[in-house]
Amino acid sequence: MLAILTVLGLVVGLAGMFGPDRVSYPDGSTKSSREAAIFATNDFAVAYNTYDVAKLDDYQLRVGSMLTDSYRKEFDKITDSIFTALTVKKQTSGDAKVLQIAVATIDADSADLLVAVDAQLKNTDNENAVPRNMRWQVSLVKKDGKWKIDKFESISALQAETTAPTTEEGDSKK
């Protein structure tokens, strides 16, 4: 009896250790694949929103390591220009907090995630930190087994509009 319980305990323990990662979602992804994409997106959102324009090289190195080669070239060009323009303002961004990340789509080598991140912006125009609330769609590709950011763009919150319900003929129900 003790041997049966020991074997049963071992089987249950192994299933708990290995089972969740092997669960497939309808899109074919696994839990570990999704988690890795979420972690990569989280790290990017925090790194992207933590900078000091006086330290461009450090910023490009930190963030650039998370990007695909093609997107890194674009990122370096853009940050060279923006940081140069903001140097006189001594702008910094920090205290980045990722509020939420959701997987929109994912397959074996690409993913699109939605991220909500807040950060605090400071410069010579603002004595106190100014909150920035950002919402992005982040596209990732898997290169050499690691998720890399291939592009991201800001998205706006959907604006809900309340109207009176209508009938099939288009008349309002009142």
> Which pLDDT belongs to residue 126?
81
To the nearest 10 degrees (0 to 180), the angle between helices 56-64 and 69-86 is 160
> Which pLDDT belongs to residue 116?
96
| CA atoms in the 13 A half-sphere facing the CB of 163 | 9
Options 3.40.140.80, 3.40.50.620, 3.40.640.10, 3.10.450.50; CATH for 26-154 is 3.10.450.50
| Closest to 148 measured CA to CA, from 88, 89, 67, 87 | 67
> What string of pLDDT tens digits covers the 174 residues of the chain?
555 645 455 544 544 445 444 455 555 567 788 999 999 999 999 999 999 999 999 999 999 999 999 999 999 999 999 999 999 999 999 999 999 999 999 999 999 999 999 999 999 888 789 999 999 999 999 999 999 999 999 998 664 455 555 555 655 554
| Closest to 147 measured CA to CA, from 103, 117, 116, 92 | 103
How far is the CA of 137 from the CAs of 10, 52, 72, 133, in angstroms?
Answer: 43, 24, 17, 14
